[in-house]
Amino acid sequence: MKELTVISGKGGTGKTSLVAAFAGLAENKVMVDGDVDAADLHLILKPEIKTHQEFKGGRKAVINPVLCTACGQCIELCQFKAISRDYVIDEFSCEGCGVCVHFCPVEAIEFPENICGEWFVSETRFGPFVHAKLGIAEENSGKLITMIRRQAEKLAEERNLGLILIDGPPGIGCPVIAATTGASAVLVVTEPTVSGVHDLERVGDLVRHFKIPAMVCINKFDINLDVADRIEKYCVQEGFELVGKIPYDPIFTEAMIAEKTIIEYSPNGLSEMVRGMWGRIINRMKTI
Amino acid sequence: MVITIASGKGGTGKTTVGVNMAVSLDKAVRFLDCDVEEPNAHLFLKAVINEQTVVDTFVPEVDFTKCTYCGKCGEICQFNAIAVLKDYVLTFPELCHSCRGCLQVCPEKAVQESSRELGIIEQGRAGHVEFIHGRLRIGEAMSPPLIRAVKERIDKGQINIIDAPPGTSCPVIAALKGADFALLVTEPTPFGLNDLILAVEAVRALKMPLGVVLNRAGNGDSGVQSYLARENIPLLLEIPMDRKIAEAYSRGQMIVDVMPEWKEKFRGLYQKIEGIVNRQGDT
């Protein structure tokens, strides 16, 4: 079983539109929306939810005001400044470390499990889809991503599907690390802007750090040909295979508004390029 | 005044709005790039950096001459960063949240302070803009502590503009907390609307005033406008879809570099925000 995670360094490069297109092109696969913070793939895949479960991640401390003697111990020990002078815990600052719970001399602090999101297994017109919704302002997006990846792996095994296609989160931190470690390969979607290059270099350092084979697609390459050229040179230098160059085209936005993949919305022209790129990705994946 | 610019989703133009507003103001302004995973504002502001600070965080180190393998440190750790074996203690620094519970709980004082590097903070100047950003170390998973370290450099006496990371989870909350105003940047597409709704929910949970800038206006549908009208959220500025802007951006230029008349509009954006914040203060 192979796992391909599509990442971007920066958001808004067209990652999700491309993943949706690949979803329509790939055979025998499970799709995963790993951008649990701002999941968008469902807007195009229109999943029919089959199972739905709560995601519990960590705990949050709560002070019982009846038992609290206002001794000040917890305020002093909390490293996250989460406890106010009137002994109320700010849930947005509490990291769930439990230090206040452990050291409270009168056991006035409760430590219930925190439900921080939900996850779903769905069916779509392109096959099974595992996705999630992190609760607003919740932590643990990395854990939630790891969880849905495991579910997708289970599903792929049960149904004998050879590929897991993951729409990854932006950035280089916890969620991206969770979405890429152990993946067979990543596809980095970038755009030819100075910030695009900067983000590509950061994410390039990351995949090298974790030794994950990387491919690159330059989206909107004709916005700035000089910078696109710089990206190509960077790929050669780093040994990242450049699998596609897609021109800027408002048709991506039109397809999104029509809630269709680009292949469904407009099968010719641009879609041919995306199809060609997918062929190159699959060939590369076979060698990994 | 502290304004945090957030967006739910990436690539909507948060940094564009932030840097253009910063350079358009005719008062002292601090720009703090808290998108520490992928900081980009420096590419546009081109600040001259004159100070660099490494930011560390606590991680435990076990003194085996004192350790009795009682297991208390492993029990208190909620993040699986310490595992106590029969005659060894394993620590996983990258999982540690620096709560210092292990240090506090150890009866033998065998747990000692060590540190891991989170990243660096750089500070400099671009014209009248005091510039600060954090850069997360490659391989470091936790960005909120570095974001909090950047925010320690807020100067309440000035206008502070904070560029937040994308999303709606802990890094964004870390960037939003304590701000006077949340400015959300979105684009007129179903993806933009979906993520805007999540960002609005996050800001409302933090109980702070908010407003929206619509970027790439005209290049989509009207879903965002109807949502804003329905939710009574002020639309403070529209930036049209314009290839000239996209190309300037690709070269690392700001809108006001290629269209100086936009300075006035970004100044107007700030005045609207100031108006809303002052009205909030009165009530």
pLDDT tens digits, residue range A159-195?
A: 999 999 999 999 999 999 999 999 999 999 999 999 9
Confidence at B2, pLDDT banded by 50, 70, 90? very high
**Burial (0-12, 13-18, 19+ Cβ within 10 Å), A237:** exposed
**Closest Cα in chain A, distance from residue B66 (Å):** 22
pLDDT of residue B219 exceeding 90: no
CB A134 within 8 A of CB A144: yes
- Per the prediction, chain B carries an average pLDDT of 95
CB A146 within 8 A of CB A181: no
Q: Which of A140, A174, A193 sits opposite B250 (nearest CB)?
A: A193
The pLDDT tens digits of the residues spanning B135-184 come to: 999 999 999 999 999 999 999 999 999 999 998 888 999 999 999 999 99
CB within 8 Å: B221 and A13: no
Give the H or E element holding residue B132: strand B129-136
Residues 6 or more apart in contact with residue A152 via CB below 8 angstroms: A30, A31, A32, A130, A164, A166
Q: Which of A43, A138, A257 sits opposite B194 (nearest CB)?
A: A43
Token look-up 């519970």 returns: B101
Q: How far apart are CA B9 and CA A37, in angstroms?
A: 8
Q: Does B57 touch chain A (CB under 8 A)?
A: no
Give the H or E element holding residue B182: strand B181-186
- What one-letter code names the amino acid at A175? P
The pLDDT tens digits of the residues spanning A106-126 come to: 999 999 999 989 999 999 999
CB within 8 Å: B38 and A97: no
Q: Where do runs of H (alpha helix) occur along chain B?
A: 14-24, 41-45, 72-76, 101-105, 144-151, 170-176, 190-205, 223-231, 243-250, 255-258, 262-282
Mutation for testing the B interface, residue in A174, A208, A223, A254 having most B CBs under 10 Å: A174
CB within 8 Å: A102 and B79: no
Instruction: Say if the ipTM goes beyond 0.85.
Output: yes
CB B66 within 8 A of CB B145: no
Mutation for testing the A interface, residue in B16, B37, B210 having most A CBs under 10 Å: B37
The pLDDT tens digits of the residues spanning B44-78 come to: 999 999 999 999 999 999 999 999 999 999 999 99
The pLDDT tens digits of the residues spanning B64-123 come to: 999 999 999 999 999 999 999 999 999 999 999 999 999 999 999 999 999 999 999 999
**Nearest residue of chain B to residue A191 (CA atoms):** B250
Q: How far apart are CA A10 and CA A169, in angstroms?
A: 9
* Backbone region of residue A86 per phi and psi (left: phi > 0; alpha: psi in -120 to 50; beta: other values): alpha
pLDDT for the residue A218: 97
Q: What is the pTM of this model?
A: 0.94
Confidence at B283, pLDDT banded by 50, 70, 90? low
Give the H or E element holding residue A206: helix A194-209
- Per the prediction, chain A carries an average pLDDT of 95
Mean pLDDT of A134-150: 89
Three-state DSSP state, A187: strand
CB within 8 Å: A250 and B38: no
